[in-house]
Structure 1
Amino acid sequence: MSTTERPPRTLGRAETFKRDWLDGFVGAYGRLVRKVPDAYGVAARHAPERGKVAVVIGGGCGHYPAFAGLVGRGLATGAVVGDVFTSPSAEQVYRTARAVEGGAGVLFSYGNYQGDVLHFGLAARRLAAEGVETRTVLVTDDVASGPADAPERRRGVAGDFMVFKVAGAAAERGDDLDTVAALAERANANTRTFGIAFDGCTLPGASEPLFTVNAHEMELGLGIHGEPGIRTVPRLDAVGVADELVNGLLPELPTGGDGRVVVLLNGLGTTKYEDMFVLYKRVHERLAAEGLNPLHTEVGEFVTSLDMAGVSLTVLALDDDLAPLYAAPCETPAYRSSGATWEQVPPSSTVDESLERPDDTQVAGVVDRLLTAGMVRLEQNEDELGRLDAVAADGDHGLGMTRGIRAAVAAARRAESDGESISGALLAAGTAFADAAGGASGALYGVLLAETGAGLAQAGGITAASLAEAVDRATAAFVELGGAQPGDKTMLDALEPFRVTLRAEADAGADLVRAWNTAAERATRAAADTADLTPTKGRAARLAQRSQGYADPGATSFALLVSAIGDELKKEN
């Protein structure tokens, strides 16, 4: 490989991807599945089971957990695996079916793609010639891939899971082949899916994605192999994405039911679970508002598309026959259930006032006014603080500081509106800062504010001397809690010069405004000087050399905060 070529974005080699991942999969989950001899297929360890219908699923790889990950008791009996995004051959389908067939026939179920239809169909004809009965249920849940009046033209996507789950449970229960097929057909008829893609996917061994989506746009209805969607729209936030998903499904849902539904929010490859939970909050609200009753929900990866960024929403409308089958227990490598409990779950909506930004024009008292000035300054520098933090840590310092200072301002405003003293307002602000910001910085800023307030509570009035005494006390608590020493490249490298200068100015008889601003100027210079230090504390210590030449984010945020407070004090003076 030349130095100008980009390396592959995946670990697997294109030539051996199917073989290698399947061998690793069987090795990892050999307690549940086994490799079909001389075939690219997976069988449940208990198969074949005499007198029970074998449910055989399959398709191209690149969609894990579909299809091999859904093999096990109570779900699929076997899965046949094709190359990436390519149907398995009829020979592989036949060998897999033969390995799991127990004398009661075989139900084939797979997405409605031409290659799969042809090869599974050929295998079914061969089995029939040998006296093995088969039935086929094509999954056609993708509402974006065909008109409602021609469902046979629609593709199968994440709704595969719903159909396979019902079919597997019916087979496990001992239903005959016709009954298993009929129930799987009903599950398919009651299942709808709509998906959204934010970016493309990368084939094994490739250095570039198969296709891309503009960073400021998203594709509605894009297929799991990159098939064109129905339209391109500007990138939306979580509420907007959730609304598009629900709006895409609602007109398509079966009518005449009682509102009981199973919901699946499916990640297509790289969408994080936390992001999907953010989406599901709105999805649940919308479905409930439409009179639907999500009795069981799954959020996770069930039918993916390699590393595609995106999500799909699937809804299965339940009836009295489908409900116990979906609820039945199963155990596979990718999905386990001891039995679903049908229970109506109301939407969850937490009220957290600390997440709201306080109005910076409606101040209630001295502490509120000074901290509000600090809030505005920190907000203006949020990105820069994050950039400094990302050099050798996790990049969240800017966000944590704005989150903490907003909560501190809100708490101080409430306290002063309720008649609290300056010390009481500072104590409330410190507690709120630590709670909202979290992390080490949140705790340390919290103790600074709270201990400064505690120190002022013991003073007869607020002067440069009493404030210096309170800051001395707060710094001692800071060091005791954090364990840092000057020179460790932490916030203390700005705090300690600030403390020393404030004390010196107070001892020299300076008034409060001059003493504070002189100390703030010293803290600003000290924060800049931390660029020459090497960190020995926290996450940055593990990547110490990377931080050379960059100021410490904690020292920088401290300098910004005290400088903003100093500027506000000068205005009042």
Structure 2
Amino acid sequence: MSETRDHATKKLMNSPEAIIPEMIEGMLSAHPDLLRLEGETGRAVVAVDGPRDGKVGIVVGGGSGHEPAFAGYVGRGLADAAAVGNVFASPSPEHIKEAAMAADGGAGVVFLYGNYTGDVLNFDMAAEECAEIGIDVRSVAVIDDVASAPPERAGERRGIAGDFFVFKVAGAAADMGLSLFEVEAAARRANAATLSMGVALSACSMPQTLKPNFEIGDDEMEIGMGLHGEPGMRRAKVDTADSVTDEMMEKILGEMPLAAGDEVAVLVNGLGSTGPMELYLVHRRVAQILAERQVTIHHSWVGEYCTSLEMAGASVTLMKLDTDLKRLLDHPCRTPALTVGAPPAPVAGATRTARDYAAAARAESVDRASLEAGGTVTPELFRAMMQAAGEAIAREKDHLSELDGVIGDGDHGVTMDIGWTAVRAELAAATPEDTISQTCTRAAKAFLDAVGASSGPLYATAFNTAGKAVADRLNLDAEATAAWVEGMLDGILSRGGAAPGDKTMIDAWKPAAEAARKAAKDGADALGVLQAAAEGAKAGAEATRDMESRRGRSKKLGTRSIGHVDPGAASTHVVLAAMTEALATGTA
């Protein structure tokens, strides 16, 4: 009998929408001596004793659902602040920027996060915004998961429990007063010395769906599973603890040259539902294997340090130590999830400059009289079209998440709904005088602030680029409507780096833009142009069924991704079809 995605799971929560802010509130109430909240977004968790003038700031972050990562590592001697994202979704650039402002002591800030597309995009955008306000940022993406890419493509690997060691080393280097260059170098050295591999025994479920986000048989395990339910190297029958550990260690040691007399740090990490008894069995076998090689374990940690909601399973992480890494690993720290050594003593004479988190108003006045008024798509009608797109995403969110559950982590529909719900609320409160370009700017910021997954930066850049493409227009005619669709495509291409054929939303937006431009050239009106775009997106989305994924989390599936429609391409069609229907109704 296999575990199916139709099975409903149970969670102790009040509502899915409130689960992240209420979790943060619970962490603060449990650890008031260690943590506080700063900024205006409610997502920057800051160390009570940590950030100070003259010290390099350490900012960690990622999606929720991996607790105690990431806010659990905020405290003296480790991270100065954490940006907290939604479940399995990166924090937004605004969340990250607030965490950076909290951590900044004038000596620069180091961003540390797992190597996932959404995290890379959002932390990169945050780094760009930090540069604009004078914060020097360096970024290190953790790449410890040996199962996610071969050695020759190590830079593409996922970050899993190895975050633990990289965060610890970088936090110690910063606390010891090293320079920005030295702290970044220490983080990169730890990253290069750390390898992990995991195994999953069961699925986890999103709070919004309460359904397992992948299917696995009762007697099966996934070797090399990612933290979000991404498939691993292979699926097999559940084996003994020793046999499973042997396979994980063989893969790790095949890349980590260890000789007699070498020292390592060991982390045996539970994924959420695997108890200490089983984890200690894994550690027992790890210790035996290392002893056979005459390799010394300097220190071990066994427990839940980087989880995947309620997933059952475990991972093994080794960090090969040198003198400097051992010194940094042993440096005292005190956080909710990790204490090393005695509590760090206060820094004599330490000061902290006050932060100003007030968002700078960017009021942009537009002379409406100077804009081209020809065309049937007015600003009011355009806002109605955007509202219709958001409503359609809300109706289709479960279906889109189901598509994503097959080849991704099962949250695409949920994530898109969060973003479009924010857009709908922002546009409902907007001034009627907003132009179409200003509406796009509002939509971009709302989507980006609400969504930290890869969809956030991609759609935000798309909205901004599309808005700029029609910035000289009050109303849209056929040509301008095609330009808007092309602007959406251009924005996604410029931010994401995907190409046609990679099995992403590009494979729907590109045929949509081409169909829109052809329709405009052939003399169609604005409605005809948008209808052509929607039909192009539908055909493009369906074509992804026969593609092998080459981007994002589903890339690890290889040929197993063939036969399934890409959820991002499917949601593109949902958006354009809804906008087309709203335009047809508005012009009838």
1:162 paired with 2:175, answer no
Instruction: Answer yes or no: is the 8 Å Cα contact 1:137–1:185 preserved in 2.
Output: yes
Structure 1 runs (4+) greater than 6 angstroms displaced? none
Deviations 1:205-264, CA, capped at 9 Å, x for gaps: 433221232111111001000111000111111211221221121102146795110000
Distance apart, 1:62 and its partner CA: 0.2
The reply to whether residue 13 of structure 1 matches residue 15 of structure 2 is: yes
Distance 1:216 1:201 in 2: 16
Task: Say whether 1:37 aligns with 2:68.
Answer: no
CA distance in 1, matches of 2:95, 2:36: 15
1:335 corresponds in structure 2 to 338
Q: Are the equivalent residues in 1 in contact too, given 2:58–2:112 (CA < 8 A)? A: yes
State the shift of 1:167 in Å: 0.2
String of CA shifts for 1:134-184, please: whole Å, max 9, x gaps: 111110000011110111100100000100000000000000100000010
Pick one of 238, 254, 276 that aligns with 1:235: 238
Alignment of 1:313-332 (within 5 A): 313-332=316-335
Separation in 2 of the partners of 1:307 and 1:192?
A: 23
Q: Which amino acid aligns with 1:310?
A: G
Specify the SS of the correspondent of 1:185. Answer: helix
Alpha-carbon deviation of 1:92? 0.8
Q: Unaligned stretches of 5+ in structure 1?
A: 341-573
Q: 2:28 aligns with which of 26, 36, 42?
A: 26
- Alpha-carbon contact 1:261-1:294 (below 8 Å) kept: yes
Partner of 1:218, secondary structure, is strand
Q: Does residue 191 of structure 1 match 2:178?
A: no
Distance 1:247 1:262 in 2: 17
| Residue 292 (1) aligns with residue 295 (2) | yes
Q: Which residue in the other structure is 2:211 paired with?
A: 208
Match of 2:65 in 1: 62
* One-letter amino acid of the structure 2 residue matched with residue 20 of structure 1: E
Largest Rg, 1 or 2: 1
Alpha-carbon distance, 1:125 to partner = 1.3
1:277 pairs with 254, 264, 280, which one? 280
Aligned partner of 2:383 in structure 1 is none
Residue 311 of structure 1: CA displacement?
0.2
CA RMSD of aligned residues (A): 1.8
- Residue number in structure 1 paired with 2:122: 119
Give me the whole-angstrom Cα distance separating, in 2, the residues matched to 1:280 and 1:46. Answer: 33
How far off its partner does 1:11 sit?
Answer: 2.6
Q: Please report how far the alpha carbon of residue 74 of structure 1 lies from its aligned counterpart in structure 2 after TM superposition.
A: 0.8
Where in structure 2 are the equivalents of 1:64-463 lying within 5 Å? 64-254=67-257, 259-338=262-341
State the shift of 1:291 in Å: 2.9
Deviation at 1:56, TM superposition (A): 0.2
SS at match of 2:173: helix
Between the aligned partners of 1:308 and 1:175, the Cα distance in structure 2 is 38
CA distance in 2, matches of 1:285, 1:229: 25
The Cα shift of 1:6 comes to 5.1
Deviates more, 1:253-262 or 1:205-214: 253-262
Q: TM-score, normalised by structure 2?
A: 0.56
Q: Pairwise mapping of residues 507-546 of structure 1 onto structure 2 (< 5 A)?
A: none
CA distance in 2, matches of 1:159, 1:26: 25
- Residue aligned with 1:325, SS: helix
Q: How many aligned positions are there?
A: 337
- Matching residue's letter, 1:36: E
Measured in 2, the distance between the counterparts of 1:143 and 1:321 equals: 24
> What are the ranges of 5 or more consecutive residues in structure 2 without an aligned counterpart?
1-5, 344-588
Q: What amino acid is the match of 1:334?
A: A
SS in structure 2 at match of 1:229: coil
Higher RCO structure, 1 or 2 (CA under 8 Å, sep 6+): 2
- Contact 1:9-1:202 within 8 A present in 2 as well: no
| Structure 2 residue identity aligned to 1:33 | L
CA distance in structure 2 between the aligned counterparts of 1:251 and 1:297, rounded to whole angstroms: 21
**In structure 1, how many angstroms separate the alpha carbons of the residues matched to 2:260 and 2:133?**
42
Query: 1-side partners of 2:14 and 2:275: how far apart?
Result: 22
Residues 1:53 and 2:56 aligned together: yes
Quote the residue 2:362 is aligned against: none
| SS of residue paired to 1:19 | helix
Q: Distance in 2 between matches of 1:42 and 1:69?
A: 9
Residues 257 and 319 in structure 1, CA contact (< 8 A), matched pair in contact too: no
